[in-house]
Amino acid sequence: MNVFFIPSWYPTSDFPTVGIFLKEQVELLAKEKPEWNIGVSLWGSHEPSLWLKANSPLQSLIRLTSKFPIKPFDKQLSQNCAEIFHPAFTWSRKIERGNIEGIIEANRKNLKRFEKHFGKVDIIHAHVAYPAGMIARQLSAEFQIPFVITEHMSPFPLPSFKNDFHKTLIPSLQEAIAVISVSESLQSELTKSAIESLVIPNLIDIERFFPQKVDHAIPQILAVGRLEKQKGFDLLIGALAKLKELEWQLSIVGEGQERTKLISLIQKNGLENRIELMGNLSREDVVSEMQQCDFFVLSSRYESFGMVVAEAMACGKPAVFTKCGGVTDVLDDSVGISSEIKVGALSQRLEQMLRGYKDYEPEVIREFVVKRFAPDVVSNQLENIYQDVISSFQKV
């Protein structure tokens, strides 16, 4: 089977963590299905040299009338998986739809290059309705290839799409042969827009994330995510401020616009010696932090999936998690403690975990993840969807 992936977000050297989970999902799928050929279509969505900014019109005009600063390339990720890149300039969606036609053209060239080496594409798999879903919709019509969309938006739709999501997001979701939600809560959000979807979760690299024994005198708490309001780190800091009489240390991995605000909140509560903002870390260092903590906290206000808590659980760590959707839809008290998205409630649950984290069994927690999110489990679900989609498309 030849599968053509179109991710809406993808890591670059300037933004190594943006869409990293999408790249890892593709690599895990390629490893699990060596009989497939997988192409990942890229155009430079997060390459600053390809951004044209409205507040720099002269610089943007010079770039637009010059040669692309990055040349097309193919990069082999594994024997059966390759990144295929053709550059496209991009700008605000408010102006000529952000050069979506140029982006589609870049992906069109990528698809032709993929087919030149591997033969006809059997299915196009877009991740997120815009821009990947819109691209897939166009290529599907041109090349008569069925397409599916996995939606990851959290919340759906994102605030930036509130005014035009019926024009920008819905048509692609309606025309996809199948729409996949990564959680039940996201499925419910799509249903409100009359979009039916199947729930297939993200894959977790259970070979990379595995338990290690730890023995700390002071409980080590870990949280991982972008420093943005969505992730609720202000709630977490406020909740722990109520537990100064207990021993604990918190490490927060991630970077973002809320850093200054969170530093002020830490200082206001006199927690400088108890909370560390670690910034962005490599994936290897994130794994290590998860293995070395005593328990994990997911304090988000909303999530489409919440990869980080599932990865920590693959390391055998119990978690305190807010009822924010995503993976928390299926978590139970054998793996952690759920909390309302409020400072007081979260503080109570954290105190409960601080007093009882040693009672959890790492093997039980890990097995919970393996049964639901292991690559073989999820890849087989995807294969069934692909086969059904291809079969139904051929009958039309």
> Measured between alpha carbons, how far is residue 307 from residues 152, 203, 316, 383 in Å?
11, 9, 14, 21
If you average pLDDT over residues 156-185, what whole number do you get?
92
Structure confidence at residue 77 (pLDDT): 96
| Start-to-end C-alpha separation, the chain | 20
- Overall pTM > 0.85: yes
Q: Are 19 and 202 in contact (CB under 8 A)?
A: no
Q: Write the pLDDT tens digit of every residue in 277-318.
A: 999 999 999 999 999 999 999 999 999 999 999 999 999 999
Q: State which amino acid sits at residue 56.
A: S
Q: Write the pLDDT tens digit of every residue in 350-377.
A: 999 999 999 999 999 999 999 999 999 9
Taking phi first (over 0 means left), then psi (-120 to 50 degrees means alpha), and beta for anything else, what does residue 57 get?
alpha
Structure confidence at residue 56 (pLDDT): 66
Nearest C-alpha neighbor of 225 from the set 369, 10, 375, 21: 21
If you average pLDDT over residues 176-183, what whole number do you get?
97
**2-203+374-395 is a CATH 3.40.50.2000 domain:** yes
Predicted confidence band of residue 236 (pLDDT cuts 50, 70, 90): very high
Matching CATH topology for 2-203+374-395 and 220-373? Answer: yes
Structure confidence at residue 62 (pLDDT): 64
Where exactly are the structural domains of the chain?
2-203+374-395, 220-373
Structure confidence at residue 60 (pLDDT): 61
Strand partners, 37: 2
Structure confidence at residue 166 (pLDDT): 85
* CA 298/CA 196 separation, integer angstroms: 28
Helices (H), the chain: 20-32, 57-64, 100-118, 134-143, 165-168, 170-175, 184-192, 233-241, 259-268, 283-292, 307-314, 343-356, 362-373, 375-395
Structure confidence at residue 159 (pLDDT): 85
**Residue 57 CB contacts under 8 Å (≥ 6 apart), including other chains:** none
DSSP 316: T
Q: For the domain bounded by 220-373, which CATH number is listed?
A: 3.40.50.2000
Residue 53 has pLDDT above 90, yes or no: no
Question: 108 or 16: whose pLDDT is higher?
Answer: 108
If you average pLDDT over residues 104-128, what whole number do you get?
97
Residue 163 has pLDDT above 90, yes or no: no
